[in-house]
Chains A and B, each alone.
Chain A
Amino acid sequence: MSRADGSEAASVPSVPDADVLDGMVDDEAPDPREELAKTEYRTDLGLAMAEDAKRVAKGELSGDAYWEKYDEAAEAEFGDDYRETPNPAIDADGARQTVSRETAENLGCSVGSMASVAESMASEAGAEGEAGDAPAGDEKWGMVIDLQKCVGCDSCTVACKAENRTPPGVSYNVVMEEEHGEFPNVTRTNVPRPCMQCENPPCVQVCPVSATYKMDNGVVNVDYDRCIGCRYCMIACPYGARYFDFGDNYDDEVIGSGEVTSPEYGVDRGPREDGKSPVGNVRKCSMCMHRLNRGEEPACVETCVGDARNAGDLNDPESEVSELAESNRSFQLKESEGTDPNVYYLK
């Protein structure tokens, strides 16, 4: 389309030159004046703030100057909404704060981090029931894994390690791969094995300090602050689903591997440190309870290339997992153990 534009462009086939590209972006961008006119707020203030924000981004204006300039006007225009919403520029002296402390103290808006902004949005969405996938609180989480669909790619194992940031030697989900028969009549079964979240969990039965317990939502929890690391639960688990955290880490492979940890069971424990729980504790799959609580699927379910894994509410007879678990292809691992897993498999 841009052959005519010049000889330089012609030497690089099918790549338009930069000016043309910029023009295309400008054509697509909505007109700010029109957009702001659709709101009940002042268009001129919005335009001025946006222009100056661009200057802040370019480094032509400091964050301090920007907020000092607009603080009063914004407060007058947005009122309580401005005063009560945490300003992401002010992270309570955290790493992401972009203005000086003096400026931050003089501003009329409340203080908070990006994380707290995201949380408040999530909780509002939950409270108002706007997001249809946010949990109501009466679920019993379960999982159904279709063995006909599993291709044994191990991506669930990888997604689980990435999501839960588990250390070396700890893998909440593994895929047990077995070959049967003799060449050329060989078949292969791949059985992914997360924690079964048993209805009658032997691990809960044996824990001397009740550090591991069954929650109302069906998840078997581990309280890392109570666990003494006796490993009796690992002896008792018929599925080998529990792992001891020996304190190893991926520092040699990944810089800052322990800086962020997963908020397992909804508890954010900060960076991974020697001698601090969960080091020295027993760990296992939590069915990504922290994700379920946000209305998201467990990482293994989300990533599964063959759509072999399903997670959802077993208390809801209409849910996909309930219907699959009722199917005549459905079975549980080691049914004779009496553990009654909440993870079902389809033959």
Chain B
Amino acid sequence: MATNTLDYDPGFRNGRFRVAWYALLAVLLAVGGWATWRRISVGMASTNLTSISPWGAWVAFYIYFVGLSAGAFLVSTLANVFEVEGLEKIDRDALFAAIVSMVVALLFVWTDLGRMDRMYHPFLYRQATSALSWEVHAYVAYIGVLVTELYFSMRIDLARVAEETEGWRAKLCGLLTLGRRETSDESHETDERWLKRAGLLGIPLAVFMVHGGTGVLFAVAKARPYWNSGLFPVIFVISAVVSGTAMVSALYVLRAKLLTGERLDRALMDRLGKLLAGFIAADAAFTAIDALIALNSLHPHEVETWLIVLFGEMSWSFWWFMVGCGWVLPLILLSKRSWRRSPVPLTAAGLSVVAGIVAVRFNIVVPPQILPVMEGLPHGSYFPTAIEWLTSAGMIAVGLLIYSLGAEVLPLRPLDAPEPTGATGGGGEENSADQTTPAAADGGIAETGGDDR
């Protein structure tokens, strides 16, 4: 721990990478902004949605990001509630990513409303029997819990930064301590106690309300037999944990490489890799059970919907993305101990799952809206328009921007935990393995030191 001055600089290690990264985000935001303007001025006619298939890409991304958030949050509770060794390093990162995911999820729901101007109505008018009415309130409470947790998890380091460094970051961190600037062990214990309490409150909220509840939202739709199953909300929670663990694993490695330059904790990577593989296996198993129950029911609507998923026009999204990227590829990458402990396979597995779960969400939302609810009504057919894709890209870019800015400013990695590698020297053997992810590849560089700032 720093004695008199703290070497606090959590920003990108490579200035060129930072420029390239923010330039990419700026392009995505500009395109997304244009698409959003089109969506607002043209209205819902800018989508390929119809009265037969009223929910599409925005709903799929909404449940995707709710799942990502719930999953990342549950990973954080492994650290701050269940005290799994080593995971405290990713606690804040997971919480912050959970908050950002939730913000993005709400952006998607907002964009999806036919009357965006009435987004506050669910807080004025309620319906006790509506899962969606409960969900909206649960999301707000959940964001409250996440912010509370992040505060108690990070406060002591915010105080340290405010005390021991100078400049705008110190001032900002000072503000974020909300006036509690002690750095004593006692104050740390108080924080830990409240963190645990908030986490205990958050677990049922996340499992039963936020993500289980989002599953319930679909499962109660009796008119859509494909969703109308008791197993459905359970699968929702499991796939959420899969995507959350995958995201946190990838973030851990990417952050160490791109931002902090800390030495990777191989044991932690191994633990994350094992967790991820276990969750993937559970997800695949439960999905298989769900499919078997549906196919055995011989209920025509359910059987036909599954046949559409497995062999229909869009079955490539099931086989290549959901099964390939979501299950098979990551399980292969995580199968060997040495692979789990090296950054490339772990990050690749994480990002592969994060992409694969997108297909999971699309395959939840779209297929049951292809077959009409009454024989004799027209069949649906849906693929998102360019406007839908581009608005989605823009909203995701908003999330990436918030995360990047937060990661550059906030002490999301505990200050006393890492042993910073020499800021200029750069190289452990882990750095040479850096070329894997496209992001790292074009940022280049860890071994050049990457310190042009």
Q: Residues on A close to B: CB < 8 A?
A: 169-170, 174, 176-178, 191, 193, 202, 204-211, 226-232, 234-240, 242-248, 274-275, 277, 279-282, 333-334, 337
Contacts and interface: CB of A to CB of B under 8 A. Distances in A.
B377 A280 contact: no
18 contacts: A170-B51, A176-B376, A191-B376, A205-B129, A206-B127, A206-B132, A208-B127, A209-B121, A209-B126, A210-B126, A228-B118, A231-B54, A236-B221, A237-B223, A239-B374, A240-B373, A245-B114, A247-B45
Interface in B368-397: 369, 372-377
Say what secondary structure dominates the interface of chain B: loop
B112 interface: yes
B123 to A, nearest CB: 9
Contacts of A227: 114-115, 118
Contact of A234 (B51, B125, B135, B375): B51
A313 B132 CA distance: 34
Contact of B43 (A231, A240, A280): A280
A28 to B, nearest CB: 53
B446 to A, nearest CB: 46
B224 interface: yes
Instruction: Name the residue among B45, B54, B114, B126 with the largest chain A CB count within 10 angstroms.
Output: B114
Contacts of B204: none
B453 interface: no
Contacts of B129: 204-206
Contact of A232 (B44, B115, B132, B376): B132
B158 to A, nearest CB: 37
Chain B interface residue count: which class? Answer: 35 or more
B223 A236 contact: yes
Given A178-B375, A229-B114, A240-B377, A169 B51 contact: yes
A209 B133 CA distance: 7
Given A227-B115, A232-B217, A236-B223, 8 more contacts: A178-B375, A204-B127, A209-B133, A226-B118, A228-B122, A235-B223, A236-B222, A247-B43
A90 to B, nearest CB: 38
B284 interface: no
Contacts of B373: 237-240
Interface of A is mostly: loop
Nearest to B40: A275
Contacts of B221: 202, 206, 235-236
A274 B43 contact: yes
Contacts of A334: 374
B220 interface: yes
Contacts of A228: 113-115, 118-119, 121-122
A242 B51 contact: yes
B118 to A, nearest CB: 4
B352 to A, nearest CB: 31
B55 to A, nearest CB: 6
Contacts of B49: 244
A274 B44 CA distance: 11
A280 B121 CA distance: 14
B50 interface: yes
A280 B223 contact: no
B374 A281 contact: no
B291 interface: no
B305 to A, nearest CB: 14
Contacts of A337: 222-223
A177 B376 contact: yes
B127 A234 contact: no
Interface string B83-121: 000000000000000000000000001001111001101
A337 B130 CA distance: 18
Nearest to A333: B374
Contact of A280 (B44, B109, B131): B44
* Ranked 9 nearest A-B pairs via Cβ: A229-B114, A176-B376, A280-B114, A238-B223, A208-B133, A208-B132, A231-B54, A209-B125, A243-B51
Contacts of B44: 229, 244, 246-247, 280
A169 B121 contact: no
Contacts of B52: 240
Given A176-B376, A243-B51, A244-B44, A229 B132 contact: no
Contacts of B282: none
A206 B43 contact: no
B329 interface: no
A303 B338 CA distance: 77
Contact of A235 (B43, B54, B122, B376): B54
Contacts of B136: 208
A280 B220 CA distance: 24
Nearest to B109: A230
A176 B377 contact: yes
Interface string B54-74: 110000000000000000000
Contact of A209 (B45, B122, B217): B122
Contacts of B220: 205-206, 236
Given A202-B223, A208-B130, A277-B115, A235 B55 contact: yes
Interface in B200-218: 217
A193 B45 contact: no
B18 to A, nearest CB: 39
Contacts of B130: 205-208, 232
Nearest to B119: A228
Interface string B122-147: 10111101111101100000000000
Contacts of A236: 220-223
A174 B122 CA distance: 32
Given A246-B45, A247-B45, A235 B114 contact: no
Given A210-B127, A239-B374, A226 B51 contact: no
A334 B225 CA distance: 13
A169 B44 CA distance: 13
B127 A244 contact: no
